[in-house]
Amino acid sequence: MRSIRILPIALLLVFILLIDFYAFQALGPIISKFGKSSQELVSAAYWGITGFILFSLLFTLKAALKVGKLTNALKNCINTVLVNFVTKLVFVLSIFIQDIIRVLASVFNAGVLPARNDIAIFVGLGLAFLIFLAFLHGVTLGKYNYKVHKLNLHFDDLPEAFDDFKLVQISDVHAGSFDNARAVEKGIRLINDQEPDLFVFTGDLVNNQSEEILPWIEKFGRIKAKYGKYSILGNHDYGDYIQWSSHHEKAMNLEHLKIYHSNMGFELLLDQHALIKKDGQEIALLGVENWGLGFGQRGDIKKALSGVNPDAFKVLLSHDPTHWQSIIKELPVKIDLTLSGHTHGMQFGIEALGIKWSPVKYRYKHWAGLTEYKSRYLYINRGFGFLGFSGRVGIWPEITVITLKKSYA
């Protein structure tokens, strides 16, 4: 793991404690109805639980730094802190809105601040409880709640032999985060149930170290596709986010990861292309190394295009969707379809009842699903695994099934 700076951690803890304090004092009108001994018990329990959670986080963080990797204990603590924090934050925000109204009301009431409304407090508690349940589901079942997203894409320049050609994509496995072999196997069976013509993986096989994939090689090796399995690297695959004893150790980690791709039957494309042939016709599959705004720009699309017929139908595998934004207007040749991942949809958001929202939208213009620009398509997979927060809330792990269709005039 990288060394941790003290100041950001300290500021984060102060912010968490401020939220805790605001939430506790907001409960004052309810707690005041209890007897004195009950009030003391509630106060001790509230702050005791808060202190225990934060102490556990610091203790497991120190232990993880000592061994140099993200331990299960630290992952569990991060989950607990996040669930606790978000639950209280929702409650605090609901109370804060009421407090703004109270302050405005005091202006017209000779400066007298009205008391908090008990009903509003219980409404805030209800909202917080629903969020708590959502996150509890997210860290237990939600992170393996695989969803198959199917879509048909029509192209004028698709060779006729590839009409109804089925392409299956997953992205962002992050094998070092897995903690349930049976659930992962279920996801792999679901991939094979789609009967892919072509299978592609768009990067981030591991969190940091190549050895993370070792327990899962045989399982991912079971994936079947008639016309091959292809993969690329993502920003986490290069080992940039942990400290290494030497440049050689880091380089060997990457070399081992490349071998593990091969062991799973994945043909790794490193600024390269492969020609997928069917019934005497072909399409070009391009794969670039990671290229993303703020996450390293290693990929060379021109190198991947070298030797490819400019008029060929082209599918590009590029881990970070910001790459698509840079090439659609600058590249002289047309890339028909680009497949990316990287964002995870932040593993949190809402995709229901016509609503599609996640906080990640404020970082990425395109963060999940399909985007089109002048008959050039980008599809962003929401990720097969998870990272950081060991769960998913509202944005579920994805298996993408794209059926290519020939458009006839």
**β-strands 350-352, 355-357 pairing:** antiparallel
- Is residue 400 situated within a structural domain? yes
Each residue's pLDDT tens digit, 139-162: 999 999 999 999 999 999 999 999
Would residue 326 count as lying in a domain?
yes
Identify whether residues 345 and 393 lie together within a single domain. yes
Q: Which of 86, 112, 140 corresponds to the end of one domain?
A: 140
What is the phi/psi pair of residue 199, to 5°? Answer: -110, 135
CA 255, CA 175: separation in Å to the nearest integer? Answer: 17
Give the percent of the chain with pLDDT over 70. Answer: 98
Evaluate whether residue 1 is within a structural domain: no
Residue % of the chain over a pLDDT of 90 = 75
Kindly state the greatest CA–CA separation across the chain: 85
Q: What CATH number did the domain enclosing 357 receive? A: 3.60.21.10
Same domain for 34 and 66, yes or no, is yes
d(CA 91, CA 61): 27
Q: Domain ends where: 106, 121, 140?
A: 140
Query: Is position 192 within any domain?
Result: yes
> Among 298, 326, 295, 315, which Cα is nearest to 402's?
315
pLDDT for 89? 94
Q: Domain for residue 216, yes or no?
A: yes
Task: Read off φ and ψ for residue 290, nearest 5 degrees.
Answer: -60, 135
Q: What pLDDT is recorded for position 71? A: 79
The answer on 164 and 124 residing in a single domain is no
Let me know whether 150 and 45 are in one domain: no
- Answer yes or no: is 182 within a domain: yes
- Residue 70 is predicted with a pLDDT of 72
Q: Which of 61-65, 133-137, 170-174, 282-286 has the lowest mean pLDDT?
A: 61-65
Domain count, the chain: 2
Q: Are residues 165 and 49 in the same domain?
A: no
On whether both 281 and 219 belong to a single domain, the answer is yes
Do both 157 and 185 map to the same domain?
yes
Assess whether pLDDT exceeds 90 at residue 386: yes
pLDDT value of residue 203: 97
pLDDT score recorded for residue 3: 54
- Considering the domain boundaries, does residue 87 fall inside one? yes
Note whether 136 and 157 are same-domain residues: no
Q: In the predicted model, is pLDDT for residue 4 greater than 80?
A: no
pLDDT range class, residue 370, cuts 50, 70, 90 = very high
Q: Note whether 217 and 296 are same-domain residues.
A: yes
128 lies in the same domain as 197: no
In this structure, is residue 334 part of a structural domain? yes
Q: In whole numbers, what is the pLDDT of the chain averaged over residues?
A: 93
107 and 220 in one domain?
no
Is the predicted pLDDT of residue 1 greater than 60, yes or no?
no
Per-residue pLDDT, averaged over 321-348, amounts to 93
pLDDT tens digits, residue range 104-125? 888 888 778 888 888 888 999 9
Q: What is the pLDDT of residue 409?
A: 65
pLDDT confidence tier of residue 12, bands split at 50, 70 and 90: confident
The confidence score (pLDDT) of residue 289 equals 98
Tell whether the model's pLDDT for residue 2 goes beyond 80: no
Listing DSSP states for 36-103 in one string gives HHHHHHHHHHHHHHHHHHHHHHHHHHHHHHHHTS--HHHHHHHHHHHHHHHHHHHHHHHHHHHHHHHH
Distance from chain centroid for Cα 142: 13
Structural domain harbouring 189: 146-406
- Domain limit, last residue, from 140, 156, 173: 140
pLDDT digits (tens, 9 = 90+) for 45-78: 999 999 999 999 988 888 887 776 777 788 888 8
Residues 112 and 184 in one domain: no
